Structure 1
Amino acid sequence: MSDVHELMVAVDLRDEITEGELAELRWHLGIGGRPERLSVVTRFPVVVWDEEGDPVIEEDPRPLLAGRGAAARVGGALCSALESRADLPRRGWALTSRQEIHPDEFEKVGELLGWLAARAHETHRRGDGAVGVGFLRFHEADVPEVLTVEGGQVGWPG
């Protein structure tokens, strides 16, 4: 049995994002190269084994929402987009991403979602202070759950 979930992120971001942050965001979405300096999600620790067989922690930066092509478990296609809202009343950036995600990835992806929520337009804020950033659906479920960020923490279901 698989623990894969469908992650759908849809958020409008304010226009105060720096060029460096935009470059990193594009990298995370799979629509740009990796910037030299990471400032949005800065740590990507993984355990590897050295020549003596001892565990060592190394950094392995990887884009978090860059899946493309046919989805293996949730159906449909994996994709990400970032579009300027410069000519619209709510200036900034429109971001959409549809990915397959395993619970082992929740923490790292949660860092990025927390960063996005902090920069989301007010229209994404609910009355209780939480920020709606999208939906999460277990691959065998029919109905997704609303995904929110409150106090910088993602409310992962389950």
Structure 2
Amino acid sequence: MTNAFYFMQLSVTLTAALTADELDELRWHLRIGPRPQRSLQVDGSFRFFYFTGSSRGEGCGVELSQIDDGRWALTAAQEPSPDDVDQAEPLFRWLAAKSDPSVVNPDGSVLLGRLRFYDESDWTNGLLIHRDQLHYPRIHKRPASESMTDAEAVVTTWNDFASRLELTLGRIRGGDWIRLGTTGNRHACFFGDSNDETVCNIVSNDYLDDDFLMSDDEEAGMRRLGWDGPSDGYWIRRLLHPATTNQLHSAAEASMLAFRDLLDVASPQELLLSAFSEHPGEQPDTTAMGMNLSPWP
């Protein structure tokens, strides 16, 4: 038994139009053929495929066979870690692009297979390519609320708000979106992007209602707090993953001060909390915020 986080079953029907060069390259990625003597279409993809008897992967294997009508059937049983899955995303995108039209869903997505966590028995989680992005269930951290002694309490003070936001920012993962907002379109968005960054956005005058526009002095105050911009309607801060405690604290403090002093929000209780994840079946961890979730506006 390996220490894998996932058990994975791939089952992909590939188009009959695959060229000989494409098949040679695919066999190399799957570790069932030599590296082609030419440049690769999917260069840089990490090869995590293993077979029974290797250092990893009791019960693992890969099979690529041609179906009677010329299409190709790829099946695999593997035990990857989350890093393995992420690094193989270029190959998964390529497989989706080369899938037979009969397995492409109406929304353009392609289900490549199923994943389950090491302590689960049901294969309920999909490995999906949608809009050229990989979606799959990720390992869950302990809820942020477990780091607090009063997580059930409602947030009442700005200092408490900043502490809770700091914990929440530390739990944001790629595809997570969190919004805090109130009247006058005064709001902030926090999200995990595809570059392993958490992006913190505070609305600028481009989108604020006229009654709440920032003065030149207030915009200078945003810059003193470490906000860049504004650009595309927002003031921006970026946190590289994994962010340090000091970086998370600074971003949360700067967000709190922007709301309180520059956007004139009287109390954190005026703010509405909304959240969603780009990953099907998941929800960002907002358990530490001490706020009820509202629908995304």
TM-score range relative to shorter protein: 0.7 to 0.9
Change (3 A) 1:108 1:14: same
Distance 1:6 1:40, change over 3 A: farther
Note the alpha carbon deviations across 1:87-132, whole angstroms, 9 max, x for none.
Answer: 23xx321111111111112222121111001111123222332111
Of structures 1 and 2, the one scoring higher in RCO (CA 8 A, sep 6+) is 1
Structure 2 partner of 1:18:
19
CA distance in 2, matches of 1:40, 1:143: 35
Query: 2:43 aligned with 1:64, yes or no?
Result: no
1 CA distance for matches of 2:23 and 2:102? 21
- 1:127 matched residue in structure 2: 106
For 1:27, the equivalent position in structure 2 comes to: 28
2:88 match: 109
Sequence identity (%): 32
In structure 1, how many angstroms separate the alpha carbons of the residues matched to 2:117 and 2:41? Answer: 27
- 1 CA distance for matches of 2:119 and 2:53? 17
1:94 aligns with 2:73: yes
Partner of 2:137: 157
Whole-Å separation in 2 of the counterparts to 1:64 and 1:134: 16
Asked if structure 2 preserves the Cα contact closer than 8 Å seen for 1:29 and 1:97, the reply is no
Computing the radius of gyration from Cα coordinates, the structure with the larger value is: 2
Q: Hey, which of these two has a bigger chunk of strand by percent?
A: 1
**1:81 is matched with which residue?**
63
SS, match of residue 27 in structure 1: helix
Separation in structure 1 between the aligned mates of residue 8 and residue 39 of structure 2, nearest angstrom: 23
Note the alpha carbon deviations across 1:4-45, whole angstroms, 9 max, x for none.
21121101100222212111111122211122234232126x
Q: Is the 8 A contact 1:4 1:73 kept in 2?
A: no
Structure 1: gaps spanning 5 or more residues: 45-61
Where 2:37 maps in the other structure, the secondary structure is coil
Q: 2:60 is paired with a residue of what secondary structure?
A: strand
User: Residue 123 of structure 1 aligns to a residue in which SS?
Assistant: helix
Q: What letter corresponds to residue 104 of structure 1 in structure 2?
A: D
TM-score (norm 2): 0.42
Tell me if 1:40 matches 2:41: yes
TM-score by length of 1: 0.75
- Greater helix share, 1 or 2? 2
